[in-house]
Every structure is written in structure tokens, then in C-alpha cells.
Amino acid sequence: MKEVYEIDDLANRTLLDAGADRPARLAVFGQPIAHSASPRMHQAALDADGIAARYIRIEVPPGRVGEALGRMRDLGFIGCNITVPHKLEVMGVCDEVDPAARALGAVNTVRFDADGTRGFNTDGPGFAAAVRETLGLELRGLRVAILGAGGGAGRALAAQCVLSGVERVLLVNRTVSKLDELEKHLGALGSGSDLRLMDFSDPGLAESCRDCGLIVNASSVGLKAGDPALLPDSCFTPGQGVYDCIYQPPVTPLLAAALACGCRVANGRSMLIHQGALAYRLWFPGRDPLLTMAAALG
């Protein structure tokens, strides 16, 4: 068995399940994917429920998402989770996309049904539950800054904020023009939330961030050793909530900087658990794996 599989390992069952005592029937795929803790918590839930299946990691390069889904479907997979950078690409290759996922603008969970491949999004509601649990914050009425809003995760979190009735969403990206389509999409949701767009070099960024009750990193910056903190100390204010969707490392440069400024912080472990439990329930209706998943992550 491998720690990380590749798309070519999906050629047949003999290759995929070599050395295993049960078949791989669920997976998470993305690039990079070796860091993902999803197998640990999902496998624990499968084992606790007596389901004879493995949950694996698969490295899938951009442009081959449709091929990966096709191979998984042919091999009898139940479903899969999708992480960066594929949450937008996968929307175009599903037979059907759940209306809530369409509103959130990204897909992170796929279920292989008898009549087609269906895409869902558990990131949005998982994020709302995680922020409530770890920081004691309700999204409604809040002012939220989302860093790296141009990616699939950022789009989903921004849409969740708007659908939840936040007062303001500050969308921050390296290239503001990449947010134009997202701005139109969020505006079409018709919530009345105030939308503001900035890049990281905007001279007004610090003041705008300090005016937010919650700052969220939805980018992959902080995942690699040597990554910057994304924001200077001038962007933080004591007591502010700062949430980093990255969970490994547990304290990213952004969270370290925020802590030093007196902010309340949380990493993406809680969101991983909540979105994972929601995905599991899509594959196995009526199950509640939340406590098992939380215990498996330690």
C-alpha cells in the first residue's frame, strides 16, 4: 500500500489494492496531497461503522480531474473529496452539481450515484460550524476579510459568508481583477452584504482588516516552510478572530503573527472535521462520524 497514489494507479483493482486487505472506495485528491489528514479521520469512521473500505490519497495534476473521476467511477468508488487546486475544475466535469454547491461556487465532495456523478460543497457549512465552535463567532452581522479569495476555497467561504448574512466581506487577493467574476457571483446571491475588493499592496488594507471581526486565510500560503505571514502586524487588532484554513502546520506564520498581536486564533483542523463529517453523511446517510473523526485527529 502507498501513502500517496497517482492517477495511473487507478488503472485497475489489482494495481490499486495490491497488499491491502480491503478495497479503496473513497479518496481525497489534489496537488499537493501528501499532507492531507482526511484519510486518518475518514478511515476511523469507516472502521467504527464496520464498512470494509479504504480511504486513500491520490495526487491528481490540473487538467486530469475528469479522467480521475471517470477512473474512480469505473472502479466502483463511493465518492471522493477534492482539495486545492481542483475545486473549480471539478464543477465542470460532474453530471450534476448540488444547488448549494453552485451557490458557493465550488465543489469539494463527489458522490458516485447509479445515474451520474454528483458534486457537493461541505466547505461552506463546515467553515461556519468551525468558526462558531473555535472562536465563538456567528457569521451573521460580522465583518469578514478573506485572504486568497480567488481560489476555490476562498470562493466557497465568501459565498457562505454572504449567504449567512455578514455585514461586509473584504475580498483580498494578489490580483484584484481575478475577483471580478466572484464579485458578480456574490452580488447575484442578493443578500445585501457590502463587498469590498483589495490586493495585498493596497495602502488601505491594514485599516480595512482591523475593521473586521474575523480574518480568514483561504489560500495555501503557510502550507510550506518559509511561507510569509500574508499580513503585517498593522492589520491585526487585539481580540480579533483569525482563522487559517490550513491545519498543518498547526500554527502558520499568519496565526503566529496574529497571536503576537493579541488575536484569538484557530487553524483548519475544526473545519476539516466538520466538512469531513458532512461529506461522510452524503456517502452514508444517517451516520454521525463527528466525534470519531475528532478523536482520530487527536
87 is catalytic: yes
141 and 96 fall within a common domain? no
Domain extent for 234: 124-270
Q: With contact defined as beta carbons under 8 Å apart, do 9 and 63 qualify?
A: no
Assigned domain for 60 exists? yes
Percent of the chain with pLDDT over 90: 92
Q: Which amino acid is at 246?
A: I
Q: Could you tell me the three cell numbers for 209?
A: 482588516
In eight-state DSSP terms, residue 39 is H
Q: Which amino acid is at 166?
A: V
What CATH number has the domain bearing residue 66? 3.40.50.10860
56 and 131 fall within a common domain? no
- For the segment 74-84, what is each residue's pLDDT rounded down to a tens digit? 999 999 999 98
**Helix 269-283 / helix 38-48 crossing angle, nearest 10 deg:** 40
- For the segment 75-128, what is each residue's pLDDT rounded down to a tens digit? 999 999 999 889 889 999 999 999 999 999 889 999 999 999 999 999 999 999
What CATH number has the domain bearing residue 245? 3.40.50.720
Give the distance, in angstroms, between the CA of residue 84 and the centroid of all CA atoms in the same chain.
8
pLDDT over 80 (residue 162): yes
Which of these is catalytic: 87, 178, 184, 224?
87
Q: What angle do CA 98, 129, 134 make, to 5 degrees?
A: 155
| pLDDT recorded at residue 87 | 87
128 and 265 fall within a common domain? yes
Return the residue matching grid coordinates 480574518.
215
- For the segment 29-47, what is each residue's pLDDT rounded down to a tens digit? 999 999 899 999 999 999 9
Q: Could you tell me the three cell numbers for 247?
A: 491545519
